[in-house]
Amino acid sequence: LADGTTLLSGNSGVGKSTLIGTIDPRIDIRTGEISQSHGKGRHTTTFSTMYVLTNGSAVIDTPGIKGFGLIDIDDAELWHYFPEMMRIAPACRFYNCTHTHEPGCAVVEAVRNSEIAAARYESYLKMLDEDEKYRK
């Protein structure tokens, strides 16, 4: 963080403010307790604030991000943004495969065989499922 200004950004409750307080304990920064119900931090930062550290550099604490979306990506195009799926999809049985349920889907088979990470495929499915919330 020396000789510059750093902005911290990320999900709500992940510890951005706590990290700043740990880096420079003289900074009086508001933090919340870990929620007993979901085991994560609570959203406490409501606006961006810049703090000057003892070494003269600065760090900006920002409110947490609750949701992140992709604009103007159709369901049929989404898989094009996953390089591992782009590599394998030409082997699918159907040219218009959605890579979700079709027989002969090479992508689903690659996930089963651990050629595509299950977490990456789950991200793809979640983005498809949340299209109304984040992509339109």
Q: What is the pLDDT of residues 29-47, one digit of tens each?
A: 877 666 566 566 555 677 8
**The tokens 């609750």 sit on which residue?**
66
More confident: 43 or 53: 53
The third-level CATH classification (topology) of the domain covering 75-134 is Ribonucleotide Reductase Protein R1; domain 1 (1.10.40)
Q: What is the pLDDT of residues 80-132, one digit of tens each?
A: 999 999 999 999 999 999 999 999 999 999 999 999 999 999 999 998 887 55
What residues does CATH 1.10.40.50 cover in the chain? 75-134
Collect all residues with Cβ–Cβ distance below 8 Å to 75 and sequence separation of at least 6.
98, 128, 131
> 110 — phi, psi (to 5°)?
-65, -35
CA dihedral angle for residue 74, residue 77, residue 81, residue 84, rounded to 10 degrees: 140
- Which pLDDT score, from 0 to 100, does residue 92 have? 97
What is the band of 67 on the pLDDT scale with cuts at 50, 70, 90? Answer: low
